[in-house]
Amino acid sequence: MTVHAEIYAGTAGHSAWFSDDLGQTWVHPNSHSGLYLEARVWTISSHPREPDVLYAGTDMGVYRWDERTTRWTPVPSPMTDVWALVQDPDHPEVLYAGTRPAAFYRSKDAGATWEALPVPGIQQFSDINMGPTRVTQMLFDPDCHETIWATVEIGGVYRSQDRGDTWTLQDAGLVSADMHGIAIVHDAAGRKLIYATTNRGLHRSTDNGETWTFQPLDSPWQYTRAIVPRCDNDSILFLTNGNGPPGNTGRLLRSRDAGATWQQVDLPGPLNSTPWCVATHPQDPMLLFVCTNLGQLFRSNDGGENWLRLPHEFGELRTLHWRPTRYRADRPGHSITVRPPVVNA
């Protein structure tokens, strides 16, 4: 079986787009593909044990993409506006979803049935943004798959230590509850570090989320969005930073020492808005994609050392995702280099 890279871009109002040539060109599936062409696609999830299946969280609920039929199928659920999705790393049929207004859900049967998860104290509406709160990310802890983390905008950081059965708010020390993203890494001594991004800056926890410390950035702005470790070495992190949502400029920052220090990465040309997403995959950790909120795209083939600006620009991007897919004669794609993952190399 030949393996190829498929890239997915979720837009705010133009559905999901696919690329099988490393982002050089993009295809917008037509109206017969099963997903409304003006859908808002907030998040995308896939699992290495299910190479033909992809899930998307949209403003119309959850959809499943089948690579064999090249169609989207709506997944019936009590949810209407799904902003975060994650699959259990050990059980791909177990899905977790976060919504707007903020709530957590779980399916143990690939979306056939769903249960609302009890989250004491979660706020579904906020006076700060004059509207519903929303779940911006859900993440399984790589050190212990019993633990799941979730960030809520505007609502703080939540932790479950029993695979979602119970949740606690972990907000001690946060200077803002306007949460955007979360990442778990390890420093050179093997110490576990958790980072969380907010509208007012980066936070770090050294005690498994019990307390947080604000970590100022040497940047004109403290607004941070995505924080993503490289799959082969989690001491290398990428952080998106800019002057607001959507903003009109920003920076991609990189750390080589598990977040202790940060340096700007040179993305070619002027940026039109805040960098928003970073996409990576353990199948090829050197292949990285970055987008800005207002649709610019960049690719690195060498782990983030050098970047290429891709020709297509979207109106507004909210998520990027890539994964290896099986070769299809009618969608030839581009082959990828399979490198075995090395942790903390």
User: DSSP letters along 38-54, please?
Assistant: T-BEEEEEE-TT-TTEE
State the CB neighbour count (10 A cutoff) for residue 310: 20
**157 close to 121: Cβ distance less than 8 angstroms:** no
Identify the pLDDT of residue 337. 45
Model-wide pTM > 0.75: yes
Q: pLDDT tens-digit profile of 159-173? A: 999 999 999 999 999
Domains of the chain: 3-335 (2.130.10.10)
Identify the pLDDT of residue 165. 98
Q: From CA 327, how far away is CA 340, in angstroms rounded?
A: 20
Q: pLDDT tens-digit profile of 27-62? A: 988 778 899 999 999 999 999 999 889 999 999 999
Q: Does pLDDT of 139 surpass 50? A: yes
**Is the link from the previous residue into 246 a cis peptide, with omega within 30 of 0?**
yes
Q: pLDDT tens-digit profile of 297-342? A: 999 999 999 999 999 999 999 999 999 987 554 444 445 444 333 3
3-class secondary-structure state, position 78: coil
Q: pLDDT tens-digit profile of 157-208? A: 999 999 999 999 999 999 999 999 999 999 999 999 999 999 999 999 999 9
CA dihedral in degrees (91, 165, 178, 279; nearest 10)? 0
Closest by CA to 148, choosing from 67, 86, 219, 224, is 86
Separate counts of helices (H) and strands (E) for the chain:
0, 30
Identify the pLDDT of residue 109. 98
Identify the pLDDT of residue 328. 52
**219 close to 210: Cβ distance less than 8 angstroms:** no
Q: From CA 67, how far away is CA 317, in angstroms rounded?
A: 23
For the chain, the helix, strand and coil percentages under 3-state DSSP, each to the nearest 5: 0, 50, 50
Percent of the chain with pLDDT over 90: 87
Q: From CA 240, how far away is CA 221, in angstroms rounded?
A: 11
**84 close to 131: Cβ distance less than 8 angstroms:** no
What's the distance, CA 76 to chain centroid? 23
